Amino acid sequence: MKNNIRVERAILNISQAELAERVQVTRQTINAIELGKYSPSAVLAMKIARVFGKKVEEVFELEDTD
Amino acid sequence: MNNHLLLSHRWKTLGWVLTIPALILGLYCMVMEVTMDDYLQVTLPQGLERLFWIDQSIFGNTQKPVTLALLDELIAIALLSGLLMLAFSKEKVEDEWIQRVRLDSLQWAVLINSILLIAFMVFTHGFPFFNVLVYNMFTPLLIFVARFYFILHIKPSFSKN
């Protein structure tokens, strides 16, 4: 699953740690998601999208391999 | 994300306090071949030996009362319970990725431990295999804890993002 969390973070000008705090996970979790090493649960994906004021599909995108 | 099988975070401190001395002492006794039967001897009151599963022939006599040496048991129990506390207590922030790392580490530990055990079964014969079994009581949890803490606390410091 692809995502544009890094871009969205840049728009809001928040760090991984700040985003992590807002969705109540660790910074490593946000890092793992950004690097595509971990696909978040539906709940976490929705929480992240809500921080950016976007729909989940605007932040996360399915890939052919998913 | 709630995992009811996990202890609270504060158990980690006790986990380290038990694990580190027990690991050092245990390894020292194993490597230096210290005879642990000479320490912490307790003589069982008459009749109480029936509660225990004791092969008296290894004590060289079958006289009663029975004397037990508790140092090895004490080290083993401290190490196992310490490792359990380290392995199964929550992180400060317990989230879904950490749960994934925990499961991955458990799978790694079982896999590596089984491969090592099979290798030692092939290459170790006779009494030395007893030593393998002694180490093997602790290696699954040791590998698990090492891998879990490496991914969570050591690896991120190599790849700051």
Residue spans per domain, chain A: 2-53
| pLDDT above 70 (res B30) | yes
Which residues of A fall within a CB distance of 8 Å from B95?
Answer: 24-26, 29, 44
Most confident of B34-38, B57-61, B125-129: B125-129
**Dihedral angle sign, alpha carbons of residues B2, B106, B100, B159:** positive
Q: What is the pTM of this model?
A: 0.84
Tell whether B33 lies on the interface with A, counting CB pairs under 8 A. no
B98/A24 touch (CB, cutoff 8 Å), yes or no: no
Lowest mean pLDDT of A52-66, B63-77, B117-131, name the range. Answer: B63-77
| pLDDT above 80 (res B50) | no
Tell whether B156 lies on the interface with A, counting CB pairs under 8 A. yes
The domain defined by A2-53 folds into: 434 Repressor (Amino-terminal Domain) (1.10.260)
Among B1, B91, B100, the residue with its CB nearest the CB of A38 is B100
- Give the gap in angstroms from C-alpha A20 to the nearest C-alpha of chain B: 10
Residue B7, exposed/middle/buried by CB under 10 A (0-12, 13-18, 19+)? middle
Dist CA B70 CA B35 (whole Å) = 12
Give the pLDDT score at B61: 55
Among A16, A29, A31, the residue with its CB nearest the CB of B95 is A29
Tell me the ipTM for this assembly: 0.83
Contact between B67 and B43 (Cβ < 8 Å): yes
| DSSP assignment string, A1-66 | -EE-HHHHHHHHT--HHHHHHHTTS-HHHHHHHHTTS-PPPHHHHHHHHHHHTS-HHHHEE--TT-
Which residues of B fall within a CB distance of 8 Å from A40?
Answer: 96
Query: Minimal Cα distance from A30: which residue of B?
Result: B97
Give the model confidence (pLDDT) of A4-55 as tens digits: 999 999 999 999 999 999 999 999 899 999 998 899 999 999 999 999 999 9
